[in-house]
Chain A
């Protein structure tokens, strides 16, 4: 059974295959791949840290306006959602371009998304709830828009914690299943944003994000159906035997 090991070893195997197709020495291709990935990773670090740096600088230099918390909350929330969507576009990117090295960019992207979600949550807890647990719990229970946003954050916690190679190995096929939680987290996140924006009558941005998310999820549907079909076929085959 090759399937269960896909998450970890598949990546390297595919990388290897892609490299050997180039009819040159395998070793130097791996070096090129590594170089590409390094460049991309540096790019991701710079891009992902820039909204945060802009906010921190703005907070101290005063360019966030009279209500800095509103800007902090909005930008960290927005960045979380954008990074979740970028994380979700790695698989389509990999399939469409055939560049399997892309998979190695998924973890840093996902972790940055979680980082911004964590900051977003803490801004809310510190500045809006003023460290008051009772207020916080009340808000989570009473307001669906908060419930949904908080749930998205809670779903992301175990994903971030199990993002290491060690956990991938330990969980095996369960790791893949667990990390499908990102689909739900991203959906809840977009709903959370939509609900808030709807109260302010301007839903253009959340609708744009919802559109991107739909495309990314729909892209996966044929694969899911195919896998399901194969699974059913396999179990039926077993029954006949």
Chain B
């Protein structure tokens, strides 16, 4: 399944670029179809502007600068500036402290109101899906953003396969709990394990992506290997990392940041320039690696046309 995003989410408003545009449609379909194996074989190092790294990045990411309305962030920026509190609270901690983490083998437990619950091997989850490059902007609640070429597939594909029942109103996700490999899980900085949640219609939305890679290469540990979520119209912390449990529930789950500080963080956490964080405005953001916080934040991170119907009639000042 190839997502052809509506024009509204193209460069001008949302600043994502459908992969077809920069890859050329034919090459995109080929790469997407062949998946990671091809990419690893055909990989070449990228020019300096993408950044030095150990992994080889596929050639389709060359010269993106000129073809994109928005510059991609470098592999280096994406993989050395992370909020992943299981590995530390400083942005540099996850890349430094995640070396011991073992993302293979990986099993995801699917539970709750579904016809096909069970422990799914990650390989089995990935076998039937079509992987895609999806360039989204990650808007952190801390008012910075990056443009990142994720590699993954729509969460909806997995959900359809496990057949949720009528009682499934929300999806609850859990990060793995491995204090011996995730040093900060030994601290009480946040309640562990990390929990996130989506309403069923949000989870089924074609923009909601389960991610296994970045820049066409395997997801590094610090970015949430081997499986993480990306919901481009929500603040970054909704994109739960290293997922081991997906539960279909009736009640709205309490997500970790809401648990930790319900005054400042809510369940929905939609990017909204009109609703400020108590400590800073959300009207502007710093597009890294820029120094200036002068980039205007767009409603739903630029995906208003695709997702605003999900929240019709809701007071978004109240439902933070």
Contacts and interface: CB of A to CB of B under 8 A. Distances in A.
Contact of B261 (A66, A146, A198): A198
A196 B76 CA distance: 27
A67 B279 contact: no
A16 B144 CA distance: 57
B25 to A, nearest CB: 32
A183 interface: no
B204 interface: no
B89 A127 contact: no
A5 B286 CA distance: 52
A90 B218 CA distance: 55
Chain B interface size, under 10 / 10 to 19 / 20 to 34 / 35 or more: 20 to 34
Contact of B73 (A66, A127, A130, A144): A66
Interface in A123-172: 127-130, 135, 138-139, 142-146
Contact of A69 (B73, B89, B280, B291): B291
Interface string A53-80: 0000000000001111110000000000
Given A130-B292, A201-B89, A67 B81 contact: yes
A143 B292 contact: no
Contacts of A65: 80-81, 91-92
Of B85, B142, B257, B292, most buried by chain A (CB within 10 Å of CB) is: B292
B276 interface: yes
A199 interface: yes
The DSSP consensus for interface residues of chain B is loop
Contacts of B288: 66-67
Contacts, number: 67
A199 B237 CA distance: 13
B245 interface: no
B293 A130 contact: yes
Contacts of A144: 278
Interface string B178-219: 000000000001100000000000000000000000000000
B165 interface: no
Nearest to B73: A66
A149 to B, nearest CB: 11
B279 A196 contact: yes
B91 A70 contact: yes
A129 B294 CA distance: 8
Contacts of B257: 201
Given A139-B281, A143-B278, A199-B279, A66 B293 contact: no
A2 B26 CA distance: 91
Across the A-B interface, give the 5 residue pairs with the lowest CB-CB distance, nearest first.
A66-B77, A202-B89, A66-B81, A130-B294, A128-B293
8 contacts: A66-B76, A67-B81, A67-B288, A130-B293, A139-B281, A146-B279, A199-B278, A201-B260
